[in-house]
Amino acid sequence: MAANLLSSRYGRLVSMDGVWGAGKTTNARRLAEHLTDQGFTTTVLHDGLHGGFIDELSDYLDTQPLRRRDGEGGYDQPHHATVDVLLRLCREAYHHVHHYAPTLAGHDVVILDRGLYTKLAYALTVLAEQHPGVPRETHLAQWRAVTGPWLREPDLAFHLDQPWQQARDRAVARTRARGVAQPKSGSRERELFLPSYDASLRWVAQQHPHTIVPITIGDREPRDVLTEIAARTEQLLRIPASAGENR
């Protein structure tokens, strides 16, 4: 591995955030390729399976989700929303402690193709679904109380701002291109869930204006989107090392 260009013990953590179909994985890969060409040691991390208990937990969350993915969605029991969020936070804690931290120590830039704020927005959405009378601020405070001991927030996050209808259509088309005739991204459950999920993500972005950068997607050319993302990332990489550590 090439030596790190940044004079810091840890690299910079960058995340791509957005609803399903917004282009998170695609733009993470393109940004990584761009930064690598600039000489930075860069890698993209995805929430995959890593063996042992985390493997089993991830498989459970993916194949036996507590929240129904057919019909109108929702949970069978009111407390299942809280259990769902806590199980996902167990997986997240593992990634932050055992995956993100070591990778940051060996790279200039680590890019998350499914960012922290995307997951936070999911948690806020399902909790509000089950507890509609509780303010978002209360749920956010509870989330932070749980994550505080291990959370590593991004140095920079990009909110890929794609209208949820357009993002859904892209996700459906992409899945059908892989031979899936009835993709979950086009289900009634997703149609009901996505507006609330999108609203939660926008609210989260408003709470973190110094970290989350909105990137309008729409019908823009991919190269124009990458140019904007790359320019903002390069600004971050020019910041003195002490300004971005221990956040």
- DSSP code of 2? P
C-beta of residue 18 within 8 angstroms of C-beta of residue 162: yes
User: Strand pairing partners for 12?
Assistant: 109
CB atoms under 10 Å from CB of 205, counted, come to: 19
Chain centroid to Cα 178, Å, comes to 23
pTM of the full structure: 0.85
Residue-wise pLDDT tens digits, 94-145:
999 988 999 999 999 999 999 999 999 999 999 998 899 999 999 999 999 9
Position 1 pLDDT exceeds 70: no
Give the domains, in start order, of the chain with CATH numbers.
Answer: 12-244 (3.40.50.300)
Position 186 scores a pLDDT of 52
Position 8 pLDDT exceeds 60: no
